[in-house]
Structure 1
Amino acid sequence: MTVDFNGVGPGQPNNRTGNATDKTGNAPRTSQQPASDTAAKQSSGARADSVSLSDQSKALKSLESRLAEYPEVDDARVAEIRAALEDGSYKVDAEKLAQKMLDEDQGIFG
């Protein structure tokens, strides 16, 4: 939630010198020059940015695209467990479950 006190928003200094600002935080245009001309002048002096990716980031991107091909849920495994629950053959090892819960707690608090 953004709060606007007298035209001052986040990231704006408290400007009490009399310069009025609109709701976007921009001072009103006083020149007759179109906005597109101003933008063109500002960008003409700017140099182009470039990005190069490391081999590790390229490998991670490749891995990400391969993982996207796999389903999020193994439907066959879900069906197998569902059938085992329905026929009563699904058994839970209480000691193994308790140990995993303790291990998880140690990972969080340890």
Structure 2
Amino acid sequence: MSHKIDGGLPVTPLLRTAAAATRSPVSSSAPTESVPAMDSLRLTGEATSLLNLQRQISDSPAFDEGKVAAVRRALEDGSYRIDAGNIANAMLEFDRQLAG
């Protein structure tokens, strides 16, 4: 089964009807009045910390170029060894962590 992910939400007929009912006809020649902003937003310390962390992560490279180059050299010269036991243990430990 596959699902298309397009970032949009489907609009049901009920939502279309409700949206149309709340709209008032506005003439383009009628002056508009400004409405003072009533909403406000206050971030908690935790939210501010998360925002700062997100900025740090977005500024960081996605991978360690030095480590990639070292692995590439080891693969090319045949010195890179794969330890199946370590991989299996890491997978089992990850599974244990997921199970809680």
Q: TM-score range by the shorter chain?
A: 0.5 to 0.7
Decide which structure has greater helix share. 2
Correspondences of 1:66-105 after superposition (within 5 Å)? 66-105=56-95
Mapped pair 1:34 → 2:27? yes
Q: Name the CA distance, whole Å, in 1 between partners of 2:70 and 2:51.
A: 33
Secondary structure in structure 1 of the residue aligned to 2:47: helix
TM-score scaled by structure 1?
A: 0.58
Q: Identity of paired residues, percent?
A: 34
Q: State the 1:26 CA deviation.
A: 2.2
Q: Which has the higher contact order (CA 8 A, sep 6+)?
A: 1
Q: Which runs of 5+ in 2 are unaligned?
A: 1-8
Who is 1:16 aligned against?
A: none
Q: Which TM-score applies when normalising by structure 2? A: 0.62
Q: 1:62 to 1:11 in 2, by over 3 A?
A: same
Q: Is the 8 A contact 1:81 1:90 kept in 2?
A: yes
SS in structure 2 of the partner of residue 90 of structure 1: coil
Distance (Å, rounded) in 1 between the aligned partners of 2:42 and 2:51: 13
Distance 1:9 1:109, change over 3 A: same
When Rg is computed on C-alpha atoms for both structures, the one with the higher figure is 1
- Counterpart amino acid of residue 97 in structure 1: I
Q: Any unmatched runs of 5+ in structure 1?
A: 13-20
